[in-house]
Amino acid sequence: MMFLRRLQTVQIRLIIIYVLLILVAMQLIGIYFIRTLEESFYGNFQEKVNNEAFLLAEYVEDYLDVAETETDRLRTYDDLNIFISNLFASNDTEIQVIDANGVIVSASGQQTSRFIGQKNAQIEVSRALQGIRSDERILMDAEGNRKLSLAMPVRQEDKVIGAVYIVSSMEGLFETMNRIKQFLFTGTLIALVMTTVLSILLSNMITAPIKEITSKAVAIAVGNLNQRVNIQSKDEIGQLGRAFNDMTTRLKDALSSIEDEKEKLDSVLSNMNDGVIGTDEHRRLIIMNLRARSMLNIRAEERIEGEEVLQLLGLETNVVPPKAWTEGATIIVPLRAKMQHGEALTVKMTFTPIHRRGVGVTGTVLLLHDITEQQKLEESRKEFVANVSHELRTPLTTIKSYLEALDEGAIEEPTLAHKFVHVTRNETERMIRLVSDLLHLSKYDSQQKKIRREITNIVPILEEVADRFAFQAQQRGIDFVILPDKGLQPVNIDRDEIDQVLDNLISNAIKYSPDGGFITMTASKINQQWAEVTVTDQGIGIPQKELSRVFERFYRVDKARSRDMGGTGLGLNIALEIVRAHGGMMKIESEQGAGTMVKFTLPHHTEDHDEA
């Protein structure tokens, strides 16, 4: 009972543990050492046999190849026998030289004459004669001796003319290993005796495991979570170590889970099209994704954590209702302080408070949705509707007025009635042109308009448009000048659509040109893919500040004059859409009082267009 009680003490356990640890350690070291030595000795032995086989294969190449007659061959093989016998006389190795037919022509050892002239049917030899170098094989002879066999092909250029077969004894190797094992066993016994003595002296060092746990706890505190305590017993220290390991595992799993969730959140925030801003309960910045930084013109490397959010947004405090931070809200505000490309951003801000159980609101998440383009589209839609309404209302009002006048008695006066009917017809035609242009643009906007391309020379098109407007030009004393480049290639276009483009441009050139002068049309080759057409007049020109807007729908530089001339304000926009549908570009250059030049590009006829 006394012994059993002492066995339960930490001191006795430590002594037993030390002894067992040393025993296990010596065994592991011994196993590792023996295996390492065995691998080393066996590898060296294999390398030696391989080197001998390689050298011998090179040496016997001349013997297997030189002999022409039977006498010469026998004399050569005799010389080879003498060489092999002298070379391996003191070595426990058997050598066989085999010709291409598998016949042993030379051998070493005491039974040399018995083997010469016979075939060697070993699988190693067969593979070697096929040009395949076989792996080493361990054999066991009749006396129980272990030997290593190896066959190596003898080559002359790419042809196998024979083989070398070596069988070398391994008994010396195993005898050496047995002696080493005996030395290691003796060393293990001595180590156990010394360990027993030392364990008794050091068993009072009970604090060692506690120190180990302390050091690992410190390592965990600085962030190294790959810490494990070695548990060797079931006493209090063992329980402490086990609890420590469980705590480390759970802490590592928890932190890993938090890190994964953080990475997922960062990935989601980084790839969102909307800006996200997180604040604390004091409305100071905690987190901001890249989209929000881009919207607010804040560099990615700029440190802004802890800044007041409204200051970053450039907003006054009274812009955001106080309840938005605690109850949530959605407001639309212009961020004029964060203008991009000269324009203020219009942002829809959604406030979502963060609630923590038992604490209340601990922060707020702001979602910034850029609605600048949406508002521009909405404004464009309103402006478009207003322009269409205005363009339709004017002729409708005129028609109504003249019809009322006719109804009130003007129809009885032929001259006046004829004039009123003429005006009514003109206004009706004007509305028809407007609706036709709107339908034309609508087809392009909805991509329902199909371009029917055909291979066409551009010069006849320019000549035909000049003929169509010849009468109007002659009335104004305006001449057409057509200047095509030599060697101009055909273009791949929808001729009717391009006719409409040229009609719009020539019509504008005649309208806004003074009497006399020229309208010049040129066609030139830009490169192998594109041709350029220009229409140049000597008219009143366009102010520089108006050039950027001339392609807008319903936009007129001189609104009153344009309307009087019957224009709808859609001609240039239709021309632009047609050119874009062909893959080209259109631009306008003008100087007030010096005329206007309109350029647009058209694709040349190529094989690629044909395939398309």
Percent of the chain with pLDDT over 90: 0
pLDDT of residue 177: 81
Domain total of the chain: 5
CATH number of the structural domain spanning residue 403: 1.10.287.130
Q: Is 48 left (phi over 0), alpha (psi -120 to 50) or beta?
A: alpha
Could you say which of 218, 241, 265 is where a domain stops? 265
Q: What is the mean pLDDT of residues 406-412?
A: 75
Q: How far apart are CA 384 and CA 181, in angstroms?
A: 100
Is the residue at 5 inside a domain? no
Q: What is the mean pLDDT of residues 281-294?
A: 84
> Considering only 108-112, 514-518, 584-588, 603-607, which range has the smallest mean pLDDT?
108-112
Query: Looking at the structure, do residues 285 and 339 belong to the same domain, yes or no?
Result: yes
Helix then strand then coil, % of the chain, to nearest 5: 55, 20, 25
Is the residue at 189 inside a domain? no
CA 191-195-199 angle, to 5 degrees, is 175
Could you say which of 216, 239, 265 is where a domain stops? 265
Give the chain's mean pLDDT: 76
What length is written for the chain?
612
Which residue bears the tokens 């702001």?
A: 366
Structure tokens belonging to residue 528: 């192998």
Is the residue at 580 inside a domain? yes
Closest CA to 315 of 287, 281, 289, 349: 349
Closest CA to 213 of 174, 172, 241, 189: 241
| Of residues 464 and 61, more confidently modeled | 464
Is the residue at 190 inside a domain? no
Q: Between the CA atoms of 236, 241, 245 and 250, what dihedral angle is there, to the nearest 10 degrees?
A: 40
Pairing of strands 491-493, 530-536: unpaired
**pLDDT tens-place string over residues 458-513:** 888 888 888 888 888 888 888 888 888 887 888 888 888 888 888 888 888 888 88
| Of residues 146 and 88, more confidently modeled | 146
Within a 10 A sphere around the Cβ of 37, how many other Cβ atoms?
15
Which residue bears the tokens 């605690």?
A: 326
Instruction: Please answer whether residues 408 and 417 qualify as being in contact, where contact means their C-beta atoms are separated by less than 8 angstroms.
Output: no
CATH number of the structural domain spanning residue 510: 3.30.565.10
pLDDT of residue 182: 83
Query: Looking at the structure, do residues 468 and 604 belong to the same domain, yes or no?
Result: yes
pLDDT of residue 610: 45
Q: How far apart are CA 31 and CA 29, in angstroms?
A: 5
Structure tokens belonging to residue 19: 């002894």
**pLDDT tens-place string over residues 172-212:** 777 778 888 788 788 778 877 777 777 666 665 565 676 67
Domain residues for the domain of 463 are 454-611
Q: How far apart are CA 573 and CA 437, in angstroms?
A: 10
Could you say which of 395, 427, 445 is where a domain stops? 445
The string over 501-528, giving b where at least 16 C-beta atoms fall within 10 Å of a residue's C-beta and e elsewhere, is bbebbbbbbbbbbeeebebbbbbebeee
Q: Which helix (H) or strand (E) holds 106?
A: strand 104-107
**pLDDT tens-place string over residues 362-377:** 888 888 888 877 777 7
For the chain, what is the radius of gyration of the CA atoms?
Answer: 51
Q: How far apart are CA 612 and CA 601, in angstroms?
A: 19
The sign of the torsion formed by the CA atoms of 440, 444, 446, 451 equals: positive
pLDDT of residue 68: 52
Instruction: Please answer whether residues 123 and 134 qualify as being in contact, where contact means their C-beta atoms are separated by less than 8 angstroms.
Output: yes
pLDDT of residue 146: 80
Is the residue at 181 inside a domain? no
Query: Looking at the structure, do residues 552 and 435 belong to the same domain, yes or no?
Result: no
Closest CA to 134 of 200, 46, 216, 213: 46
Query: Looking at the structure, do residues 459 and 437 belong to the same domain, yes or no?
Result: no
Query: Looking at the structure, do residues 50 and 149 belong to the same domain, yes or no?
Result: yes
Query: Looking at the structure, do residues 306 and 289 belong to the same domain, yes or no?
Result: yes
